[in-house]
Amino acid sequence: MGIGLFIFISLIKIVIGLAVLLTGVAYSVWLERKVVGHIQNRWGPTRVGPFGLLQPLADGAKLLFKEDLLPPNVYKPLYIAAPMIAIICAVASISVIPIGNSVTVFGVTTPLQITDVNISLLIILGITSLGVYGVALSGWSSNSKYSLLGGLRASAQMVSYEIALGLSLVGVLIMAGSFSLRDIVDAQAGHCWGFIPRWNIFTGQFVAFFIYLTAAYAETNRIPFDLPEAETELVAGYHTEYSAMKFAMFFMAEYANMITVSCVATLLFLGGWHGPVFGPPILQAFLPVFWFVAKVFVFMLIYIWVRGTLPRFRYDQLMAFGWKVLLPLAIVNLIATALAVAW
């Protein structure tokens, strides 16, 4: 495959991936409003289109046309750059997430992944840790008490839970032996005892799965860890002073982070795109993608379900939980996995 063809195919994949991700973000907002509405015994959006399905379009149009305020006395360069950092880091992670095996379209064989490097997992962790800058800088540059406190709390929380997040993934890495996401998924192919699929959650990484889930809720600032942006506490935390499109960028960044985290959990713990595959070749190419999307959808539902159900942690409880409970648990899981693999 020549370099020109490779670049062309990569550009197409980038455009498709970006379009799918942004549509996914918009409709995960719809899903959240509907599901949380039903949990709270009300309907959620129903007016705009059937079942409220055009609500994200209405929201997008509103946010586009809203007045874009620039409050006085903000530190302008960082005020404008912070939402950009947030959304860039949120969207950049999909460049290494594989959603299926190789497909052959018009005679060209290409993997269903924008790039496949052999340190993909570390790239995702790196981009997530750079995303903290968007939060911290927006809180500080807004020149407001609520924003500063929200930004400080959010960045401290994100940095603390990143450690537990990373350590919970090392168990999976030990079992797979590679940082490449494709290799980790391939190591989960097949079944043990005939019918239980050999996903990592069933082959010993059960505790790590729950550590990862909890740390991911804290990383993406979702309930029960969303004190930095709780309305009754801090008005809106680090994005109080933002309006219109800049606020929309933070909003999209939060949901894009949720989708990325769900994708990584699917790839590492639930076997990625492995699932029953049958039928004619076109169905066989399409079914892995379907299984992957279904698993990510289940994760998003769990995210939204937890949001509608649990109360939020107080900040000192949150930090104590991250450092005193999750981190030791993750280290114990790592030691246990290493011992199990060595024997």
- Selected range binding other proteins among 35-43, 159-167, 199-207, 240-248, rule: CB under 8 A: 159-167
- Nearest of 151, 17, 5 to residue 78 by alpha carbon: 151
Torsion over CA of 204, 206, 209 and 213, rounded to 10 degrees? Answer: -170
Q: Tell me whether residue 104 or residue 118 sits nearer to other proteins (CB atom).
A: 118
122 binds other proteins (CB under 8 A): yes
The residue within the footprint of other proteins, chosen from 44, 45, 52, 139 (CB under 8 A), is 139
Distance CA 2, CA 65 (A): 44
241 binds other proteins (CB under 8 A): no
* Whether the Cβ atoms of residue 79 and residue 138 lie closer than 8 Å to each other: yes
SS3 content of the chain, % helix, strand, coil (to 5): 70, 5, 25
The residue within the footprint of other proteins, chosen from 18, 22, 119, 277 (CB under 8 A), is 119
- Nearest of 72, 12, 31 to residue 259 by alpha carbon: 31
The residue within the footprint of other proteins, chosen from 58, 88, 156, 302 (CB under 8 A), is 156
130 binds other proteins (CB under 8 A): yes
CA distances from 246 to 66, 133, 241, 252 (A): 11, 15, 10, 10
Token representation of residue 254: 């939060």
123 binds other proteins (CB under 8 A): yes
CB of 128 to other proteins, least distance (A): 8
CB of 1 to other proteins, least distance (A): 18
Cis before 224? omega within 30: yes
CB of 291 to other proteins, least distance (A): 29
Q: Tell me whether residue 179 or residue 315 sits nearer to other proteins (CB atom).
A: 179
297 binds other proteins (CB under 8 A): no
- Selected range binding other proteins among 146-154, 199-207, 222-230, 325-333, rule: CB under 8 A: 146-154
Which residues, 6 or more positions from 10, have their beta carbon under 8 angstroms from its beta carbon?
A: 114, 115
181 binds other proteins (CB under 8 A): no
Q: Tell me whether residue 91 or residue 127 sits nearer to other proteins (CB atom).
A: 127
Token representation of residue 58: 């209405």
240 binds other proteins (CB under 8 A): no
- Selected range binding other proteins among 21-29, 120-128, 240-248, 260-268, rule: CB under 8 A: 120-128
Distance CA 115, CA 108 (A): 16
Q: Tell me whether residue 156 or residue 302 sits nearer to other proteins (CB atom).
A: 156
296 binds other proteins (CB under 8 A): no
* Whether the Cβ atoms of residue 265 and residue 297 lie closer than 8 Å to each other: no
Token representation of residue 240: 């109080």
Element (H, E) at 105: strand 102-105
- Selected range binding other proteins among 62-70, 114-122, 231-239, 287-295, rule: CB under 8 A: 114-122
Distance CA 99, CA 32 (A): 23
58 binds other proteins (CB under 8 A): no
The residue within the footprint of other proteins, chosen from 151, 224, 272, 322 (CB under 8 A), is 151
- Nearest of 203, 224, 204 to residue 215 by alpha carbon: 224
243 binds other proteins (CB under 8 A): no
- Nearest of 87, 228, 75, 67 to residue 137 by alpha carbon: 75
Half-sphere exposure of 80 (CA within 13 A, CB side): 5
Distance CA 334, CA 328 (A): 10
- Selected range binding other proteins among 51-59, 151-159, 246-254, 307-315, rule: CB under 8 A: 151-159
Q: Tell me whether residue 20 or residue 149 sits nearer to other proteins (CB atom).
A: 149
179 binds other proteins (CB under 8 A): yes
Contacts with other proteins, residue ranges (CB under 8 A): 75, 78, 117-119, 122-123, 125-126, 128-130, 132-133, 136-137, 139-140, 148, 151-152, 155-156, 159, 162, 166, 179
